Chain A
């Protein structure tokens, strides 16, 4: 049902919002970001299915591709920063760069 899908998507978005604002760990911040993007994908997919908005489905594919790109670049940046400055969290990286 469309209503269940939408309520679920809002719940997933809220969990992602909570995770992104309460975690220090880079891994969990990335997980939260993926949850935010997936809740939007969920809304697009279920509206394509139930509301005759078939244009939303290719947009969902595009979101998945952009999310992959974002995760790849984010992990690459953080791994490079960790190799060079030996920091573990984004806060430490910020302090290191601002010195």
Chain B
């Protein structure tokens, strides 16, 4: 069953990068995230699956739709770099080989409960300030970028 889910996800991922129409590409991307979220639910990680569906299928897809409506639906053809597919294939083969060579080091245990609601508080509450710093620096960068572009236009 998981192979069916994951094959559909890979097909939709390739489709979202190769379809020429932006809206069709966006729908393919949203469907990919939906199937991935359903797969997490199938894996019994319900909260992560719902996170995935609400944030990616709901939030980011609508955000991308706003981006398309603001910027336009013009499709730019791909760069003609024949080595990109080769590099991606080599990377995939290398990682799979490394994983299966070191597979014996892994310790499997199927009888655990990963839906511990206090896990985030226990493990990551100290890092909240760092997240806040990252978010504020991203927003600062955005504002600086916009002001630089505005200055550029005025010149």
Contact = CB atoms under 8 A, between A and B. Distances in A.
A78 B72 CA distance: 12
Interface of A: 1-8, 10-19, 21-28, 30-32, 34-35, 38, 41-42, 45-46, 48-52, 54-55, 57-62, 64-73, 75-85, 88-89, 96-97
26 contacts: A3-B100, A5-B2, A7-B96, A10-B95, A10-B99, A11-B10, A14-B91, A15-B17, A18-B88, A28-B16, A45-B40, A49-B44, A52-B109, A54-B114, A55-B119, A55-B123, A57-B114, A58-B123, A68-B55, A68-B60, A69-B138, A71-B63, A77-B146, A81-B145, A96-B152, A97-B152
Interface of B: 2-3, 6, 9-10, 13-14, 16-17, 22, 25-26, 29, 33, 36, 40, 43-45, 47-48, 51-52, 55-56, 59-60, 63-64, 66-68, 70-72, 74-79, 81, 84-85, 87-89, 91-92, 95-96, 99-100, 103, 106-110, 112-114, 116, 119-120, 123-124, 131, 134-135, 138-139, 141-142, 145-146, 148-150, 152-153
